[in-house]
Structure formats: C-alpha cells, structure tokens
Amino acid sequence: MLDNEKFAFVAGIVEGEGTFSLSRSIDQKQGKHYTSFHPQIIIVNNNLQLLEFCQDVVGGTIYEKQEPKGSYPFHGKVFDLRIFGQRKVLDAIANLLPFLVSKKREAELLYEYCQSRINSPAKQPYTQREKEIYRVLCGMHNKGRALHRS
C-alpha cells in the first residue's frame, strides 16, 4: 500500500471513529488559576489490529479503555489511539487533511492552533484566536448532544 493510500485509509477511520480536539486542564498553584490546552487526535475502536495499523501510519499511543458501567457485554474491550503534542498532531493532520471530508474543519482549526503555539515563544499567554479555536471545537463536538438527553 502506498503512503497516500495509507493516509487516506486512516483519514476514513478518523472520519468515523475519531476526533480532533483540544483538551483543557486547569491547575491551581499558589492561589493562581492556570489553564492549559492540549491538542490531540483520538481514534476509538474495539479492533486493536485496526488501531495498530493506524498507529504505524500516523504514530500515537494505544490505550485500553475501562469498560463503561452499564455497557453491553458484547462490546468487549475498547481501545483508543491518542496522538498528542503539538508537533506530532501537526504532522498527522498535514498527512490526513487532503483526505478528510466531514472532519476537515476540525482538523484545520486544530492545525491552526498548533501552528500558532509552535510559532510563539514558550510560556506565551494564549491569544484570543487560540481561545476561540478551543470554543469552536467544543461547540462542534457538542452538536447533537441535546438530542440524546432525557
């Protein structure tokens, strides 16, 4: 399989089983409140062999997830492949972007965020645009959630 074919295949898996996101962590030190954002690409699936193939193509680390309470017994083990770190996420997106359709905008936003952080000095405060990217990505991930609430 050619590299472009591999990237196209993984892009298809990400379209159906993955997400491009910025996770947020809050740390309180000496009475001060610090927020930090962490770019990541996550693919969740119960087929370990599939995730290992994706890992060979785009990198990342595979984790076995805890089975959620109340889950159906036939789901079996669930794994997730996580790519994190600005440069690793940037490289993965650069390779997947030409093949994405429905998650292309998410990938473009995360790419823009990573580019911005890589090009800014260390410990630089987050720009308004970087905070906006976080809010937009959160909104994209929450779409349709209200439909599933009881």
- The answer to whether residue 150 is domain-embedded is no
pLDDT tens per residue, range 29-87: 766 677 889 999 999 999 999 999 999 999 999 999 876 666 666 567 889 999 999 99
Range of the domain at 48: 3-143
- φ, ψ of residue 42 to 5 degrees: the values are -130, 130
Is 20 a member of any domain? yes
pLDDT digits (tens, 9 = 90+) for 38-53: 999 999 999 999 999 9
Q: What is the CATH number of the domain that holds 89?
A: 3.10.28.10
For residue 45, give the nearest of 62, 57, 58, 60 by alpha carbon.
Answer: 62
According to DSSP, residue 68 is labeled P
Does 21 map to a domain?
yes
Asked whether residue 90 is assigned to any structural domain, the reply reads yes
Q: How many domains does the chain have?
A: 1
Does the residue 16 lie in any domain? yes
Residue 149 forms part of a structural domain: no
Q: C-alpha distances in angstroms, 50 versus 9, 73, 101, 102? A: 11, 21, 21, 21
